[in-house]
Structure 1
């Protein structure tokens, strides 16, 4: 039961990140588009520019988290 709750919480948090990034509104809640974006990101992470992409995306994410925290 605890593992199930932990998994559910993780999935909710991940969905929250999709919403927080504005992807739901930007895609008109089109699940196929959202999935395509994630597949594209996964393909990038399997390519030769993995490390550069991770560094760029991590920096953008950290900056966005910091900006959100500053707004509070």
Structure 2
């Protein structure tokens, strides 16, 4: 496989993963898949990161994202226990 093909596949995978984050966050459903709204929100986020409050925003958002990933991991690894009806 040629170098440009490998790089193209890496880029494609990266873009798909980023799109998956938008879906995972619920943004697609919350915006009814309105691409202009999603882009506007991302542009607002980029402006916030460039501002004086950028470092603080990055810290808060990173922590929230880490918590979401941890919760998702926990949900995927926790076995579902079937309970009898009427029991808690």
Q: Aligned partners of 1:10 and 1:66: how far apart in 2? A: 21
Task: Select the structure that is richer in helix.
Answer: 1
After superposition, the C-alpha distances for 1:7-65 in whole angstroms (9 at most, x for unaligned) are: 00000000000000000000000000000000000000110001100000000000000
Q: Mark the runs of 5 or more structure 1 residues left unpaired by the alignment.
A: none
Tell which has more relative contact order, 1 or 2 (C-alpha 8 A, sep 6+): 1
Q: Where in structure 1 do 4 or more consecutive aligned residues deviate above 4 Å?
A: none
Structure 2 length-normalised TM: 0.81
Q: Which residue of 2 aligns with 1:36?
A: 40
Task: Compare CA radii of gyration and give the structure with the larger one.
Answer: 2
Q: CA RMSD in A?
A: 0.3
Structure 1 length-normalised TM: 0.99
Q: Mark the runs of 5 or more structure 2 residues left unpaired by the alignment.
A: 77-88
Q: Which residue of 1 aligns with 2:52?
A: 48
Q: Aligned partners of 1:59 and 1:46: how far apart in 2? A: 19
Number of residue pairs matched? Answer: 72
